[in-house]
Structure 1
Amino acid sequence: MAEEAAQNPPSSARMELILTVIMAFAAVGTAWAGFQSTKWSGVQADSYAVASAKRVQSTQQATLAGQQRIVDIVSFTQWLDALNEESDVDESGQLTSAYQPTKDTLSGFLFERFRAEFEPAVYAWLKTDPVNNPDAPPTPFAMPEYQIAAQAESDRLATMADDAVAEARDANQLADNYVFVAVFFALVLFFAAVAGRTNRPLARNLLLWLAVIGVLAATILMATFPIEL
């Protein structure tokens, strides 16, 4: 009995209890870190899917904006040609702020069929007196009033896509961080398991302290990460 007591001092039971608690905590931490890593990987996949969808929608709107811009250019060019054929623009002063489309003329017909988004830019351009004012913008397309809603929508969708990509990258980093913590907890389990098997007091104490420091460090680090449920 005396020899058995010498080999298993009272502190040994306390050591085993501490190691059991550490291993249990490390096992729970490993499982939680793995769960969070999976959840954040799902967030990453969803965000990339959203970004892809927004990119497609942005491209569609940009294509529509380009088509509408071509329509505006063609209709504006045809309108100018019709004006030139109908009268001497310099003498008539038709390209002034007083311009009004003349009914029953080709120029009036074309002007009334300008797109609703384009017409305000034309009126704003006419107010600059482009015939007599050398500082006037060369065309209505250089006016700030020339706005295409489809282009604005394309830009908005592109921004949303960029935000979704940034969110996906952040989620990917968080998933990697949780994997790192899981590996940390796995090292704690290793240290605790080896400490419970060794009979050398110095080695056991060293492994115990490594396990304690490791589980505390991993827990504190994991506590700084956001949680996805």
Structure 2
Amino acid sequence: MLTVFLLSIVAVLTAWCGFEASKWGGEMSIAFSQASSSRIQSTAAQAQANSARQYDLTLYTEWVLANEAQDTELVAFIEERFSPEFAVAFEAWDEGGRQALGPFVVDEYVPPGTMEAVALAAQADAKFDQALDFNQRGDNYTLLTVLYALVLFLTAMSQRVNAAWMQRAMLGLAIVVALGCVIAMLSYPVKI
């Protein structure tokens, strides 16, 4: 009677662990996809920032040349074409007595896409870490499935041996492993 009860309960627990491993595997795949999407978006935002930086750098180079040539009309023409982000940085650099190595190194210079790239990269890292966590949860349930299979094996084998002490030993070991698995399983998160 104990053997049938143990086999029945462990069979259900084995199926449950397989179901949970599958669910966590799905969550892992979704999180990896989201991490990849965020990484791609971060790269696009960084490309936008790099393009803006290149545009600003080109204008600044022309400004330096015009300023060196003391062509005030060309200097004014170029300054009118500064991007809003660069104009703010240029003004801060100018007001700071031009002590910094240029307007690109002042804190005020933040080309469009820079902050978005940083935020999206952080989001990608977080989703990647979450996917690894989900993967571990799935692996934990898979390990329990294997251990429950061991319990089923030991329980079935306990009925095949002739020596009573061997039957009790195998059944006792099966019960100990099953209890250990149940205790471990109760500490795992559940995904339905």
- The two structures share one fold, judged by TM-score above 0.5: yes
Q: 1:13 maps to which residue?
A: none
Give the TM-score normalised by the residue count of structure 2.
Answer: 0.94
The residue that corresponds to 2:68 in the other structure is 84
Contact 2:158 2:170 (C-alpha < 8 Å) held by counterparts:
yes
d(CA) in 2 for partners of 1:40, 1:31: 14
Q: Tell me the distance in 2 between the aligned counterparts of 1:217 and 1:85.
A: 82
CA distance in 2, matches of 1:185, 1:82: 79
Q: Pick from 109, 124, 127: which aligns with 2:95?
A: 127
Shift of 1:59: 1.1
Whether 1:175 and 2:143 are equivalent positions in the alignment is no
Query: For each residue in 1:95-127, what CA deviation from the matched residue of structure 2 results, as whole angstroms up to 9, or x when unmatched?
Result: xxxxxxx7xx22222112211111111111111
**d(CA) in 1 for partners of 2:51 and 2:124?**
23
Aligned counterpart, 2:166? 203
- In structure 1, what is the Cα distance between the partners aligned to 2:9 and 2:74? 84
The alignment's C-alpha RMSD in Å is: 1.4
For residue 140 of structure 2, what is the amino acid of its counterpart? N
Q: Does 1:34 align with 2:18?
A: yes
Q: Distance in 1 between matches of 2:112 and 2:180?
A: 53
**Where in structure 1 do 4 or more consecutive aligned residues deviate above 6 Å?**
none
Q: 1:116 aligns with which of 74, 81, 84?
A: 84
Q: Name the amino acid aligned to 1:68.
A: A
TM-score (norm 1): 0.80
> Match of 2:104?
141
The answer to whether 1:156 aligns with 2:119 is yes
Confirm or deny: 8 A CA contact 2:48 2:112 kept in the other structure. no
Name the SS of the counterpart of 1:142 in structure 2.
Answer: coil
Distance 1:138 1:52 in 2: 37
Unaligned 5+ segments in structure 1 are: 1-16, 88-101, 131-135
Q: 1:175: Cα distance to partner?
A: 1.1
Cα separation, 2, equivalents of 1:28 and 1:148: 58
The question of 1:185 aligning with 2:169 is answered no
Within the alignment, does 1:219 sit opposite 2:182 as a pair? yes
Identity %: 34
SS of residue paired to 1:197:
coil
Task: Name the residue aligned to 2:37.
Answer: 53
C-alpha separation in 2, matches of 1:42 and 1:57: 23
In the aligned structure 1, how far is the partner of 2:184 from the partner of 2:111? 49
